[in-house]
Structure formats: C-alpha cells, structure tokens
Structure 1
Amino acid sequence: MTDTPDPRRALRDAFGTFMTGVTVVTTLDATGKPLGFTANSFASVSLDPPLLLVQIARASANCGPFTTAPGFAVNILSEGQKDISSTFARPVPDRFAGIDWQPGPQGSPLLPGVSAWFDCTTHQIVEAGDHVILIGRVAAFHATAAPGLGYYRGTYFTPVATQATLPTGPDIIVSAILERLGQVLLVDDGFGGLTLPTARVGRDGTFAALAALIADSGIEAAAGPLYSVYEDVARGQQHIAFRCPATPTGTPRRGAFVDLAPASFTEVTDQALRTMLDRLADESRMGNYGIYFGNQNAGRVTPVAQEKTK
C-alpha cells in the first residue's frame, strides 16, 4: 500500500492508470448516514490545485445530499469487486450493508479492498442539464497494487486478463492547447493543414503524454485545466484536451503561435478541433471558460468560471 503525500502527484499518476475504472463515489448525509453510487468514469480537472470531477443525475435521490455535503470520496474498485459495483448501481435499501467501511481523512466513507481512493473536499458544484457535476479538491490519496476493475460496453474487465479477452476500447488522444498572450500554438498535421500538438496516450497515462507534448514543443508551459472531452465515434477515438498556459517568451520547435480568433483556424482540418478552438476564442474574450462533454458532432459545454464555490 502506498501513501502519496503530494495530491498533485497522486492525481497525475493515478489518472494514468485508473481513468476508465469503475468507481463508487461516497459521502455522508446530514445525519451521518453513508451514501454512495457507482460511476464508471471520472476525470481530472486541474493539477494545481488538484481537482477531479464526477457526475450525478439530478433525478437521483442522492443528488441533494451529495451537492450539500462538505466532501466526497472516489473509491476505485479492484478486480474482485464486481458485486460492490452492482450493489451501488441498484436502488437497494442499504448499499453499505455488510461492508466494513471506514471514514477517510476528510470523513467520507472509504471501502475496503479497493485499488485506490481519493478523499476530497467539495470545491465546486456545477449545474449541467439533467446532471450535476461535483468537483472535488483532492485532500488525500491512497493506492494499492490490486488491479482495478474496468467496464466497457456492458462488460467488466481487468488489466490482468489476457489481451485477447479484453474488450476493444477507443484510442485515447490528448491535445495540448498551449496559450500565451492571446495566442495558441498550431502545428503541421502532416496532411497539408494545421492542428494542435496531439498524441496518443500510451501505457504511462494521460498526464505523461501531455507532459511529453509540452516538452516536445520547446515552450515552457504548465499542464492546465481540462477543457474538452469528446468521443470520435467514426475513428474509435476519445479526445481529451487541456489548456496549458505558456510563458510569454521562447520559440516553439515546430509550428507557430497564432491569434486566438476564428480567422486563424481556417487551415485546421479536423472539424471538431476547429470548433473547439472557435469556442476557446469566444470564451477567451469573455473570460468565462467551460468544459465540453460529448462527441465530435454534438455535446454540452458546462461553465466552470461563475458557479457557486464551496
């Protein structure tokens, strides 16, 4: 079992391994009763401060308690905990019956035998249509060597299963939106057009791929907040983009900085990236930014700049 004292490092390292894992999100209601629900995805929002997000349906009976609680925990289930995943996904009277849970450092219930957990204070509540986004600030993190439990297209899987039996999931593509002084870095896409610095995510995880993109650019920049998550169904890819503020000096190894304006993006050949950059140009002028969730054609933008903060 490994304790990581720096939550920023924990968030960066853990998301490389657990980003698509099955989780149980937990909290306590006003009377101290433990509550929880199963979620098969969560996402990093920021490394500094260390923030993550999960979503809960507004129609859920747990929505009210979770949005008013001072914090919540994300328990990443291990490969032998399919029954726990199923229990917390069903409307049973007491989901914690027979579970020897313990309060975390911030008080939220931690489940035994999990691969890892994040214990968070509630940082922000974002209304998002028929869902609510819970943004938590990571206060404590704990991990074990137990393989995590995954879920894809109705099937559970684990990293220790043979490659032939694993379900085929989408490639994960990460993009670095390198910004400075009202400009963004665009590079040659190899097909006569322009694109963002982009790479496939390898075994080392999303933040390792993002760090490599920043290093390869030759520009000093920080891995900033999550900006867009969308699935390209036709190509079988999931795209994740992060805004990365860059220092005002230095020449990129390839490509060039262009003004954050739609006129600068006419040679961006990927329509989804071009739409994202057009949105960034608009939001940059207004100073209000959002996170896009959806696919390459349609989705929703959830504002994060002017929401209530706890």
Structure 2
Amino acid sequence: MTGKPPLDRRALRDAFGTFMTGVTVVTTRDGGGKPLGFTANSFSSVSLDPPLLLVSIARSSANYAAFTAAGGFAVNILSEGQKDVSNTFARPVEDRFGSVYWRWGPAGSPLLSNVSAWFDCSLHQCVEAGDHAILIGRVEAFEAATAPGLGYYRGSYFTPSETASAVASGPEVVVSALIERDGHVLLQDDGTGGLTLPTARVGRDGASATLARLIAATGVQAAPGFIYSVYEDVARGHQHISFLCPATGGAPDRGAFVEMSPDALGDVTDPAMRTMLERLAEESRVGNYGIYFGNQDAGRVALVTKGKTS
C-alpha cells in the first residue's frame, strides 16, 4: 500500500492566493526593547468573547523566535495608500521602522500611523502548525479609522478606489520589463515574500515612457525590446503588456537576476507571469520567440523570430 502523492506546493500557493485578503503589518518588541515587524495577510478574527484574533508566522522567519517568545503583538491593518509600508516590512531591511511613523501601543507593541485599524494584543496562545506558528492574541486595545484598507489578491495589491476607477473607466494598462541576461531574468520582491517582474501602471505619457522609467529604476542598463506578451487579466481588470529587454550591463539596485528554471521561478506569485517566464526559458533555449495574445488563462503565440542572431 502506497501513501498519497505529495501536493504540488506551487499550485497550493496559487490556490491560497485566490482568496482576497487585507494586508497587515504585525509588530512586537524583542527582549531588548527593539521594535520588530513583518508584513502578513494571514490575519483573522477569532472570537468576540473573549476578544481574540490570530496571525501566523513562518518558522523560517528571522523574527520567529522573538514573536513566539514575546508577551504580545500588534496587528496594523494597512490603508490603501500604504503599499510602500507593506513593501518595507516584507523586505530584509535592517531598520524597517526608520521610514515610518509609529508609537508604542497601550499594551506595549508598536503601532503604525495612518492605518485603517490597529489591535494591540497580549499573547493568548502560540500553536505550532507545520512550517508556521499561529499566534492567537487577546485584544487589549484597538482603534479603527475611516480609511479604506489595502487589499491583496493573486500576488498583487488592489484598493477600493482603484477598483472603483477601473470599473468606471475600463481596464488598467500595466507594463512589465522582462530584463534578461544569459538565461536569467531580473526579479524583485513583490512585497509579500514572493517574486515579480519590474512592473508599473502606464502613465499619461504612455507605455514606452513607463517602460523606460521601469528600466532606469532597476539600475541595470537594458535595451527596450519588442512586446513579448499582451494579455487581459480579467480577474484584476488589467491589460498587461510585457516587453523583452536584453540587459547590456550594470548591477540591479533592487532585486536580482534569477535563473529561468522551474525551481527558481517557483516564488513568482502571479501564475500568468510565471507561465510567461517558463515560456521565455524554453524559447530562449531554442531561439524561437513569439508574442502571446490572450488572457491570464489561455491564448495563442504568434512567431516573431526563428533562429538566434549574432
């Protein structure tokens, strides 16, 4: 009798990502009184009587020991204008609190300014659960504001105001830079511990200017190349355009060049983007490049070149 085959971890992560969540920063202080914090969307209310909530933290986190040993923690629900705060607390920055306004809460944990809500908690219970620990907090103090919260869905942020605008004005156009060098592609932190391409919404000056700004912000010299993929992300209301941009020099100021292999691309959180990168890896190997037209699930590829050029 054989056991069940292991679940596909990447597919499971994608499936979890279909649940729309808010974005929080969970904070505490270490044994020396230093503030600590990390970005998380694994937040849930548990009980009103007694007042309980929970978050989870990965065993691999550098903050794992401090949070599981602390007497309490705070959950800061980020408002729609705080994507930069989410990104700061998701990256390995030495002083995450140096660029944000914060104060000590009534129960002793750091509280961030301009959030939608905060909950300052004592630690009610810590439950070991696989590769994470579940921190159950008893709410000692809280406060809610009128600011709409920041959302997260399938590897990307969304906000109530942007969603309403997209419904009124049609699909939002987004540009990604596929900066490729010797079988590697430049990837950056997506703000939640995953990876993504350099990506931005198209400004009023158009897609070409937006692409030029994206490339310049990476610190890498790259030539704006041809359109590699055009697809409509129906779930997010995006029209997504990706440009293949060969790197010509320089080192990235943010992110790193990652080998285009299935294992290396496993942390790319957007399934459509990951599929596109896997196609690029295969096309780079054989020298046949095509443009993809379709949506995030299905489409067609039109041949662009055949054979490598010198």
TM interval, shorter chain, is 0.3 to 0.5
Larger radius of gyration: 2
Structure ranking higher on relative contact order (CA contacts 8 Å, 6+ apart): 1
Give the structure-1-normalised TM-score. Answer: 0.46
Give the structure-2-normalised TM-score. Answer: 0.46
Instruction: Name the structure where strand makes up a greater proportion of residues.
Output: 2
